Amino acid sequence: MPRSAQSTSQQNTPTGVLLSVATIMGQRERDLLAQTLVSTLTELIHINRITMYRILPSDQGEEAILVAETCNHPDDALTHSRVNITISSRADFNLVFTSRDEHVQKLDKKTFLSVYPIVGKRGVVGLLEIISDAHSDIDRRLILAFLKVYSNYLTILDESETDTLTGLLNRRTFDNNIEKIVAEHSPSDDAKVGPCTQHPLRRKDAPELPHWLAIIDIDHFKRINDKFGHLYGDEVLLLLSRNMQRIFRQHDKLFRFGGEEFVVVLDRTSRANAKTVLDRFRTAIEKYPFPQVDKVTVSIGFVRLDKADVPSAIIGRADQALYYAKHNGRNQVCFYNDLVTEGKIAGEHYSEDMQLF
């Protein structure tokens, strides 16, 4: 028996399936969770390629963003999937997204393309695309069962890690992961898992570029609550968070820090591009027609992440830049190092014993 077939037969037993489920549920980082699922299904069923997409809002409508992919044969990489696809531009994706049912179509005499929905609390949150010779009904039921386990686990993660109102990661998740976020400066976080695995929107020279942390604060938010009521205040928070999901990249980490304050950890990029992205978000909020409230602006302070610094120092510097922005005109983006260099604020020194959280 060929090694691959033997491996599959060993995996596709009750014990093997349970071990695979345990492996999936041992992951808490979402991209690794997605990659673990596609790798597991590759081992359990005979496929040519399996690809998972996450669905996010964009200016063109809902978009499918590639998050994980695995091939059984190197030749399959020649037909490598696109990193992002507008749902409305692909009939099969649009059909699955709207119907919440899987769709199968024949590509040639022996090859089929199957698309399965990944359904979460807020509807279809992802798509699983499989290219294979026709798989059996048992394979189909196995795929559906694993997707159910995966979506249920995502719901558990969402309930514990995300803010109820906005759907962004919550303060508790930030506090529990800030040290890991800072440590992700190392080149090792770009390690690949499989022959077709890729990290979308990540540059080849990404390990040489830093991460950036920005604190975003809604200007005069108390006035909004006092004038229009907390219901409209909550709507501002919700719509602002949706704009964050639309404008920032998939690998940028978005948090609701508390009240009207948000934190963004920008994935590896240059300082100039970090400033450009943050300014683009600030401008988008300024121009966005918030119902009843109409105009809303934000102030932003940001800093470069340096793993030589303790998290309290990083947050403190970003907060200093934000404080300067809010007390010197608001509706602007300020970079901590520029403010220090220009003598507008004094540089702060933090001890490693200082605890901010």
Catalytic amino acids?
Answer: 260
Sequence-distant (6+) residues with CB within 8 A of 25 are: 149, 153
Report the 10 Å Cβ neighbour count for 41.
22
Checking DSSP bridges between strand 49-58 and strand 212-218, what pairing results, if any?
Answer: unpaired
Beta bridge partners of 264: 214, 254
The CA R_g of the chain, rounded to the nearest whole Å, is 23
The rounded distance, in Å, linking the Cα atoms of 113 and 135 is: 10
Q: Is 153 exposed, middle or buried (0-12, 13-18, 19+ CB in 10 A)?
A: middle
Q: Which two tokens mark 20?
A: 């695979």
Q: Which amino acid is at 222?
A: K
- DSSP H or E segment with residue 38: helix 30-44
Whose tokens are 């179509």? That residue is 105
Q: Which two tokens mark 89?
A: 């531009």
**Under DSSP, is residue 119 helix (H, G, I), strand (E, B) or coil?**
strand
The rounded distance, in Å, linking the Cα atoms of 94 and 96 is: 6
**Under DSSP, is residue 56 helix (H, G, I), strand (E, B) or coil?**
strand
